[in-house]
A and B are shown apart, each in its own frame.
Chain A
Amino acid sequence: MGRIILEVKDFSFKYRQTKQKALKNISFQVEEGNFFCVIGANGSGKSTLCSALAGLIPHYFTGKMSGRVIVDGISAGESTIAELSQKIGFVFQNPFNQLSYTAGTVAEELAYGLGNRGVSRRMMMEKVEFVSKLMRIDHILDKNPLELSGGQVQRVAFGSAFIMEPEILVLDECTTQLDPAGSEEIFDIVKELNKKGVTVIMADHDMERVARCADKILVLEKGRAAALDEPKKIFGDPEIMQHGVGIPDYVEITRALKEKQYTDRDIEIAEGPAIEMVREVLDRCKLN
């Protein structure tokens, strides 16, 4: 077992303007280098949880809070968002919210966070060049961020988080403005960073993507933790859909094959293995 980089201890939160608690007694630990996914219906508390990890709760959203969020040994409630930003890179749901709106060009926007850390200009230029190529926005570096399309802004938003080289990335349903190919491309980058040791916390609705990426999944339902396990266990549970979440097509197919007793293998949660299983089934009957 690796080092615990993030810990949520019996955390509850109620926004000032609502009656119901948004999160109720949530506890979990995330190991360093893990890819941790949070799923659940709208209103189940995914965004609230992400906000708490980055310190936006309690520093920006006020309300009644109990329990603790500990980021790499620092208590989020007692630190500042700015201090936490040295460890956590946060990507907002709405990419337009990620922009500082102080930059006249995409390059400045990317470099903004580095400036806040007092990074030298030479270093900034190097990093801006690297990240803009990675995100494929190097052709729009001189453009005003206000003139970009939603998809382009989303790339800038991701780039502005990646450039800070955070230890932990918190992604709150953040590919809504991208087409499937574009979001796959970005998640390939996220996976790559994850392989290099970056811990990723991701809230998302795309179950295929969650299944493909996650080491562990937390299912939220009306603010409560309904389940917390490995993807295969989560999606293997026939009851899981009752918590208001979907399941990947791969799971449905491979489960149907199992039910027909065409295979004795366990369910699959990714495209490659699912195809392999179907091929096996077809080959076996050809042999017979």
Chain B
Amino acid sequence: MQIELKNLHYSYPSGGEVLKGINLVIGGTEPVAIIGQNGAGKTTAVKHFNGILRPTSGEVLINGENIETRSTAQWSKKVGYVFQNPDDQLFLESVRKEFEFGPRQIKMPEKEIKRRNEWVAELVGMSEKLDMHPFDLTPSEKKFCTIGAVLMMDPDVLIFDEPTCGQDVQGNHRLLSIIKALKERGKLCITISHDMKFVVSSFRRIIVMCGGEVILDGRAEEVFAQTEILKKSFVAPPPVTKVAQGAGLKKTVFTTEAFMEALEDERKV
């Protein structure tokens, strides 16, 4: 699966250019994180990946096929999108019905719906709650319900918009295991997040957006080593990285173990 943006520009109908010429290729199965300040254009950019928004100019290609050739509903078979606010997405009277809704829309065989239901419910931690009304779920459970509903459609690409918002330690762990499981199944995950600890824990590739442009794109270690550029885009590395940088360690580290190793290296010098 490959998503390619060619000189993508987008302006809202009310005026004001939000995306100012984005060139980007995202492919393979390596999870990608998109980070940046509020208003940097992250959500606007990913809303082009399944055609919710259409380019003002430039091109969006999904596996080489122009986004304009199909409707969002048709793209939903290939590209799944989990919205930031679960309340915008849930509207049926049980978790099970939410799970079955999307697959039926795209005419997935009933047998497969049943089979997927088990796997997905287990993965997102909803097995015990399938008959509950989404309305009675906690905000964090609602989020996992929306994730499950999208996973049910078995798309090749999954887009998560701020999945960590309002999650606790356990919720973050679950998100990580979902992303890992999807990677193993050959899916591509693209995630927008403000939570840097979360980002470095499972994303090798990081894209930094600022003012409607991509200003950094690379491996996490490379990106978070660019302290000056990050500062300008109001992105701060995770705390452990900042401590290492502040103390003058040369390596960019993301875990306490890596930190201690880097420290040992410096001590030996």
Direct contact of A and B (CB under 8 A): yes
How far is A205 from B140 in the complex, measured between Cα atoms in Å? 13
- Using known A-B contacts A43-B138, A180-B196, A249-B197, determine if residue A282 contacts B169 with beta carbons closer than 8 Å: no
Q: Does A253 contact B140, Cβ atoms closer than 8 Å?
A: no
How far is A278 from B36 in the complex, measured between Cα atoms in Å? 29
Q: Does A253 contact B169, Cβ atoms closer than 8 Å?
A: no
Q: Does A249 contact B263, Cβ atoms closer than 8 Å?
A: no
Contacts of A244 in B (CB 8 A): 168-170
Q: Does A253 contact B243, Cβ atoms closer than 8 Å?
A: yes
How far is A241 from B256 in the complex, measured between Cα atoms in Å? 16
Among residues 138 to 181 in chain B, which have CB atoms less than 8 Å away from a CB atom of chain A?
A: 138-140, 165-171
Contacts of B266 in A (CB 8 A): 282
How far is A182 from B194 in the complex, measured between Cα atoms in Å? 11
Contacts of B218 in A (CB 8 A): none
Secondary structure at chain A's binding surface: helix, strand, loop or mixed? helix
Q: Does A245 contact B38, Cβ atoms closer than 8 Å?
A: no
Q: Does B123 contact A (CB under 8 A)?
A: no
Chain B's interface size range is 35 or more
Q: Does A260 contact B (CB under 8 A)?
A: yes
How far is A181 from B234 in the complex, measured between Cα atoms in Å? 6
Q: Does A178 contact B38, Cβ atoms closer than 8 Å?
A: yes
Q: Does A253 contact B248, Cβ atoms closer than 8 Å?
A: no
Chain A's interface size range is 35 or more
Q: Does A151 contact B (CB under 8 A)?
A: yes
Q: Does A285 contact B170, Cβ atoms closer than 8 Å?
A: no
Q: Does A278 contact B256, Cβ atoms closer than 8 Å?
A: no
Q: Does B240 contact A (CB under 8 A)?
A: yes
Kindly provide the distance from the CB of B205 to the nearest chain A CB, expressed in whole angstroms.
Answer: 20
How far is A41 from B235 in the complex, measured between Cα atoms in Å? 26
Kindly provide the distance from the CB of B10 to the nearest chain A CB, expressed in whole angstroms.
Answer: 15
Q: Does A181 contact B259, Cβ atoms closer than 8 Å?
A: no
How far is A278 from B247 in the complex, measured between Cα atoms in Å? 6
Kindly provide the distance from the CB of B228 to the nearest chain A CB, expressed in whole angstroms.
Answer: 15
5 further contact pairs, Cβ within 8 A, besides A177-B38, A181-B37, A253-B256: A42-B139, A151-B38, A246-B169, A271-B239, A278-B246
Closest 6 A-B residue pairs measured CB to CB? A278-B247, A275-B246, A249-B239, A151-B38, A181-B234, A249-B240
